[in-house]
Structure 1
Amino acid sequence: MIKKFAMLLGSMFFTVAVYAAAAQLRPDHPDTYTVKKGDTLWDISARFLSKPWLWPEIWQANPQVRNPHKIYPGDVLNLSMQGGAHLGLQPRVRIDGDAVTAIPLSELRMFLKDTRVMTEDQVKSAPYVVGFEENHLRATPGQKVYARQLSAEPGQRWAIVRPTNAFREFKDVGNIDRGSVVGDSLDSDVSMNRGPWHEDGRDNGHFGKGASLGVEVTVIGTAEVLRAGDPASLVLVDSTLEIRKGDRLMPVDDAPYDAYYYPHAPKTMPADPRVIAFSDALAAVGSRQVVAISAGAHDGIDNGTTFTVMSAGETISDDVASNSEERGTAKNVRLPDEYAGHVMIFRTFDRVSYGLVMDGLRPIHKGDRATQPE
C-alpha cells in the first residue's frame, strides 16, 4: 500500500512538473535549439520560456536534463510538444570543452575581485597604511609600506582596499528625486582629514542622510608581510592605483563568487529595495552592467535572487486640468512605474547586494525599485 501511494505521489509530482513546463514555454518556441558558443542559460531560456529566471525549476523537473550547467555548444535542446510537454537534451559528441554558464562570468570577474561592502565599524577598525619607506608620499609595487593594527605573520598576503562609497537608506522613500542617490563618494587619505575618511557630497543631494547600509571598498593592491609588529612592514606586490596613507588592509578573498547560479524569485521580499549604485556608469545602466541593491543577506537575499526593476514614472504637467475651470485640481500627475529590466544577484553582503542586469527595455536609474519578478 505504501509503495503504491509513493508511486501515485511521484506521478502527481511529475504531472505538476510537466504542466509547469508547458505553462512556461512560449507559444512560438521552436521544436529544437542548437546551443552555440557564447550562449548563457539565461539567454537560451529567454528564447523559449516566458519567465527565464525559472529555468532551474523547469529543467531540473525533467530527467532528460540532469544538470543544466552541463550543457555544451553543439547540444540540441528538444522543445517539441509531441506526446505532451517535453524539454529534452539530445546526446551528441561535445565540440567544446566549456559548458554553458548561467551568466557571463567573464564580464564579472574583475568587478567581483575588486569590490566589497563592509560595515562602517569594520572599515574603521581595520588595519591601515601609516607610511612608506624613505618617507615617500605614495607607494608603487616593489616598495615597502608600513601598517598599524595588523596582526599577521611574515609571508601572509593582505588586500589593500580604499573606501569608495557610503551606502545609505533613502531618507524619504515616498518622494525620491533621481538626483538623490544613496552612494556618497569617500576619500580615505588621512593627510586630507582627521577621520578615516570624509564623505564628498558636492554632487550628491543625499549626502550624509539616511541610515548606513555599509561602506563599499575597492581592492587596489596586494601586500606581503615582511615583519610583524606595530607598525608592521610589508612589500607591495601589485596595485592598480598608488597606495596612500589611510588605505585599509583586509584578508585576501580567494573565492569571491560562486561557480554556479540558480535564478529564483526572492524567498522573502525586502521592504522597498532600491537600485543604489552602478559599476562604471554615472547616470544609468543597461544589460550586462552591474548595480548595487539596497538589500542583502540580512533581508534574506542570496545569490541567484532575481528582481524585476521598475523605472520610476515621470511627473508631467496635466495641461487639461490646468486649463479647466476647476483651478483647484492638481496641475501635475505622476505616471505609473514602467518595467526596466531583470537583475540577478551574484554577490551579497549584510545589507547590500550586487546584481547583473540580465535584460531590459529601458535604462535603469538610481532609485528605481526592485520588485517581485512577475
Structure 2
Amino acid sequence: MIRKTIVLLAGMLVTLTVYAAGAQLRANHPDSYTVRRGDTLWDISAKFLAKPWLWPEIWQANPQVRNPHLIYPGDVLNLSFINGPSLRLEPGVRRESEAVPAIPLSQLKMFLKDMRVMDSNAVSSAPYVVGLEENRLRGAVGQNLYVRGLQGEPGQRWAIVRPSHVFRGFDQNDPADADLVAHGLDSNAAMVNAPWREDSRNDGHYGKGDDLGVEVTVIGTAETLRTGDPATMLLLDSTREIRSGDRILPIDDSPYDAYYYPHAPKSLPADAKVIGFADALRAAGSRQVVLLSVGARDGVDNGTTFSIFEPGETIHDDVASNSANRSVGERVTLPDEYVGHVMVFRTFDRVSYGLVMDSLRPVHAGGRLTKPE
C-alpha cells in the first residue's frame, strides 16, 4: 500500500509555505484521528485547522497526493512535530465509492432535487403546458400533456418546472425601500402562487427594483410523443400534480459537481448578502441551504467560501442621552457579529445557492458576506 504523506507546514515546497501561513494547526489538535463513516472533509479539517476551508489548497500543494478528496473511513490522520507540525495519512482498506465527501451532498438532494435560477425572460418564453388529457385540471403519471412552443423530436425527454420564487432588488428610489436598504436588506424573495403572480406584502413593495432571477423547481419529467402546436407529451413521473402553465425545460443530468474545492473569492462583490432560504422561512443553521445575492457575473464559482456577519443593531445610548425618552437622543450602531461560513455549491448568473458549513447563531436574510478570514 502506498503511504501518502501530507505536510501542512514548512519544508517541502514554496507553495506549501505560502499556504501554511494561513492554515495553522489548532493548539488543541489531537495526536491522531481515524476517519469515520459520515465524516466530511470540512468536518475533519475543522478539528485541526484554524481555517478549515483551506484544506484542498494545502493538500493539492503536495504532488504525492493524487486526489485530496479521496480520503476514506478507516484512514488514520497522524499529527507529529518533526521539523514543524505535519500530518501523515495512513491508508487502510478502501473502495473509491466510500470516499469521504467535501460536503454532505446527499443531504442537499432531499430538498434541492433540482432547483434552478433563471432569467425571467427565459422562463416566460419557455414552452408551457396548455392543457391535459380529457381536459383535466391536474395531470398524473401516465397521462398526456399538451404543450405549446415545444421544439424537438418524438422520444425526447424534458423536465417540467414550476416557478417558486422571484428574486428582486428593492427600489433604491422608493423611500420605503430605501429604509429597508439602510437596514441591510437589499433584495427580496417573492413567492409565486401561479406563473408570474407574486405574493404581495401589505405595503405592496414586491415587484419593484432590479430583477435578480426566477427560481424554478423541477416537479416531473415527460417524453415527447407527437410534435406540433400543441405537442403531445407523456408524463413519466412527477412529485406534484401537473397543471396548466407549468414550463418545459431541458433535463439537467448533472446539476451538482462531483467535488468541491473550498476557496476564498478572488474579489469581494459589492453588497453581497444572504437573501433567502431553500428549506426555512426566516432563518437557517448549519447544513441548511441559503440563497446569496452574488453569482457567476460577480466572479463567484462553486466552492467559493464566505464568512457571514449579522448587521449590528442600532440602539439608544442610555448613558449619553436621557434614558427616560428613547425616541430622542444619541443612538449607536453595534459592530457586525460573526455568524459562520457558507460554501457555494451551485452558481447562476446573479445568484448562488450556498451550504452553511458551520454557524454560531442563526443565519438571517440580510447577513453580510465577507472573505473567510
Q: Fold match, TM over 0.5?
A: yes
**Residue 79 of structure 1: how far off its partner (Å):** 1.7
Which whole-Å CA distance do the structure 2 matches of 1:252 and 1:103 have between them?
24
- Contact persistence 1:131–1:146 (CA under 8 A): yes
- Contact persistence 2:308–2:342 (CA under 8 A): yes
**Residue 37 of structure 1: how far off its partner (Å):** 0.7
The residue number in structure 2 matching 1:25 is 25
Which whole-Å CA distance do the structure 2 matches of 1:326 and 1:237 have between them?
66
**Residue 68 of structure 1: how far off its partner (Å):** 1.8
Q: Note the residue ranges of structure 2 that are not aligned, 5 or more in a row.
A: 1-9, 172-177
- Contact persistence 1:62–1:88 (CA under 8 A): no
- Contact persistence 2:292–2:352 (CA under 8 A): yes
**Residue 80 of structure 1: how far off its partner (Å):** 1.1
**Residue 186 of structure 1: how far off its partner (Å):** 1.3
Q: Note the residue ranges of structure 1 that are not aligned, 5 or more in a row.
A: 1-10, 189-195
Tell whether 2:228 aligns with 1:222.
no
Q: Secondary structure at the match of 2:80?
A: coil
**Residue 197 of structure 1: how far off its partner (Å):** 1.5
Q: Secondary structure at the match of 1:123?
A: helix
The residue number in structure 2 matching 1:192 is none
Which whole-Å CA distance do the structure 2 matches of 1:65 and 1:147 have between them?
52
The residue number in structure 2 matching 1:193 is none
Q: How does 1:1-374 map to 2 (within 5 A)?
A: 14-15=13-14, 17-18=16-17, 20-21=19-20, 23-63=23-63, 65-94=65-94, 97-171=97-171, 172=178, 174-176=181-183, 182-188=188-194, 196-202=195-201, 206-323=205-322, 330-374=329-373
- Contact persistence 2:220–2:239 (CA under 8 A): yes
TM-score, normalisation: structure 2 = 0.89
- Contact persistence 2:70–2:96 (CA under 8 A): no
CA deviation map 1:24-48 (0-9, x unaligned)? 2112212221111111000001111
Matched to 1:78, the amino acid is N
Q: Secondary structure at the match of 1:43?
A: helix
Relative to structure 1, the CA distance from residue 128 to residue 340 in structure 2 (aligned partners, 3 Å threshold; closer, same or farther) is same
CA deviation map 1:159-193 (0-9, x unaligned)? 11111111112444741366x861111133xxxxx
Which whole-Å CA distance do the structure 2 matches of 1:181 and 1:28 have between them?
41
**Residue 61 of structure 1: how far off its partner (Å):** 2.0
Larger mean Cα displacement after TM superposition, 69-78 or 108-117? 108-117
Which whole-Å CA distance do the structure 2 matches of 1:320 and 1:170 have between them?
36
Higher helix share: 1
CA deviation map 1:311-356 (0-9, x unaligned)? 1222323222331799997443222110111000000000010000
Which whole-Å CA distance do the structure 1 matches of 2:308 and 2:294 have between them?
13
Which whole-Å CA distance do the structure 1 matches of 2:33 and 2:256 have between them?
30
- Contact persistence 1:169–1:213 (CA under 8 A): yes
Matched to 1:268, the amino acid is S
Relative to structure 1, the CA distance from residue 229 to residue 78 in structure 2 (aligned partners, 3 Å threshold; closer, same or farther) is same
TM-score, normalisation: structure 1 = 0.88
Which whole-Å CA distance do the structure 2 matches of 1:216 and 1:141 have between them?
24
**Residue 284 of structure 1: how far off its partner (Å):** 0.3
- Contact persistence 1:224–1:237 (CA under 8 A): yes
Q: Secondary structure at the match of 1:70?
A: coil
- Contact persistence 1:74–1:95 (CA under 8 A): no
Matched to 1:123, the amino acid is V
**Residue 269 of structure 1: how far off its partner (Å):** 1.4
**Residue 301 of structure 1: how far off its partner (Å):** 0.4
- Contact persistence 1:184–1:204 (CA under 8 A): no
